[in-house]
Amino acid sequence: MTTRVLTGITTTGTPHLGNYAGALRPAIRASTQPGADAFFFLADYHALIKCDDPARVARSRLEIAATWLAAGLDPEKVTFYRQSDIPETTELTWLLTCVTPKGLMNRAHAYKASVDQNNAKGVEPDDGVTMGLFSYPVLMAADILLFNAHKVPVGRDQVQHLEMARDIAQRFNHLYQGDFFVLPEVQIEEDVATLPGLDGRKMSKSYNNTIPLFEGGAKALRAAVSRIVTDSRQPGEPKDAEDSHLFTIYRAFATPAQATALREQLQAGMAWGDAKNALYELLEGIVAPMRDRYDALMANPDQIEDILQAGARKAREHARPLMARLRDAVGLSRLGAAPVSAAESKKPSAKGARFVSFREQDGSFRFRLLAADGDELLVSKPFVDPKAAGTVIKQFPEGEVVLADSGDVTLEGAVVAQACAGVDEVRIRLALASLAG
């Protein structure tokens, strides 16, 4: 069975060694697995949300495309394209925007974080918040749903956006009575390497502790490795490899035999300078061939452009038929097509009120109650495990439910949820009655 996997890369920076170990390498390996139909795209529309420097965005698009290709991504075996070359993406974004509740966007982590920061500063809650930032999850949903991806590998900080994409897809399918969208599954990358940086914290440009991948060549790589912070133990003193972020980086790229050998050498008193040289030699042996390919690609941007344009053509072959169906569904078909009256388009609802479960960024579980028309009625409190949430869901239809003036929803005397803005107790009870019936 073929599984479509989709990965997006925001074009706002230059990839470093941590990006390679944590994202590029595992994604490229996954794309070669039997049954994988892999889509990789440069998320340059997303970049505009975070960066207003056009030169930086343009440079990053080139560098990231060259990096993926140099690292081994095969455009003949995957669909590799640039988001801005797919006009269907923005068209679908608008269709999805028109069915997405504002309340759903209000709960997006990035938006809430901006509001919290503004409140802490004592300024207007929405100060500096653009519609790009606010509706970012809808664009991400369009990226995923346009190609009906089955799985989307993400870090835990992106889980909420995947859950939102599922909610939006369910709502569209329900409103327009069709199975237009596959509900994408979150694929959390638990086993990929998270490299420590020069100071031991997670390798990140925001900490200024990165090791360059290709930028600056071998000289820059050696200089970065030499700045890795180590403890004060002198040559000849035993060193604890497991407590050393230098060894953690080494192990992420070494064979088991190489890692064992370096661990034993450190325990025997190997000097930190010698250990850094061993790390450099290991990394340079892996990176140098890729760097040569990267430099050749960077010197020939037309070659990269041709690859991306070919990928865009492949991607649009998938996108166009779906968009044609969606236009028909919402009433935007060509005028020569047979008109569909409002009465004919309102088919009997295949779904009534329903509960939808989801997982938060912090790992807790919640559920929502949706009305038959897809409107959101309430959101539960967080639960530590899905079974606890499921137990409450089962109790709801027959239990004693009370809606307080504060919006708290009480079930059998315990507050278990919060009603959405503008939703009254009657509407919640009618939805629950339909479930009980």
Phi, psi of 303 (to 5 degrees): -65, -40
* 408 annotated as a binding-site residue: no
* 205 annotated as a binding-site residue: yes
* 11 annotated as a binding-site residue: yes
Three-class secondary structure of residue 126 per DSSP: coil
| DSSP assigned state of 420 | P
* 131 annotated as a binding-site residue: no
* 10 annotated as a binding-site residue: yes
d(CA 437, CA 435): 5
The answer to whether 195 and 17 have CB atoms below 8 angstroms apart is: yes
* 276 annotated as a binding-site residue: no
Query: Cα angle at 109 between 107 and 113, to 5 degrees?
Result: 110
Contacts of 268 (CB under 8 A, 6+ apart): 238
DSSP string, 203-242: P-GGGT---BSSTTHHHHHHHHHHT----SPPTTS---GG
* 148 annotated as a binding-site residue: no
* 18 annotated as a binding-site residue: yes
> Look-up: residue for tokens 């694929």?
187
d(CA 296, CA 240): 41
* 203 annotated as a binding-site residue: yes
Of all helices (H) and strands (E), which one includes residue 60? helix 54-70
20 HSE (CA, 13 A, CB side): 25
The answer to whether 16 and 213 have CB atoms below 8 angstroms apart is: yes
Q: Facing residues of 39 across strands? A: 6, 79
Residue 313 identity (one-letter amino acid): R
d(CA 224, CA 16): 11
* 143 annotated as a binding-site residue: yes
Alpha-carbon Rg for the chain, nearest whole angstrom, is 26
* 32 annotated as a binding-site residue: no
d(CA 210, CA 201): 10
Q: Facing residues of 242 across strands? A: none
| DSSP assigned state of 84 | G
* 378 annotated as a binding-site residue: no
| DSSP assigned state of 270 | -
250-254: long-range pairs with CB below 8 Å, 24+: 250/275, 250/278, 250/279, 250/282, 252/21, 252/193, 252/195, 253/21, 253/282, 253/283, 253/286, 254/282
* 232 annotated as a binding-site residue: no
Sequence ranges of the binding site for L-tryptophan: 143
Binding site per annotation, positions: 10-12, 18-19, 143, 155-157, 195, 202-206
Residue numbering of the annotated binding site for ATP: 10-12, 18-19, 155-157, 195, 202-206
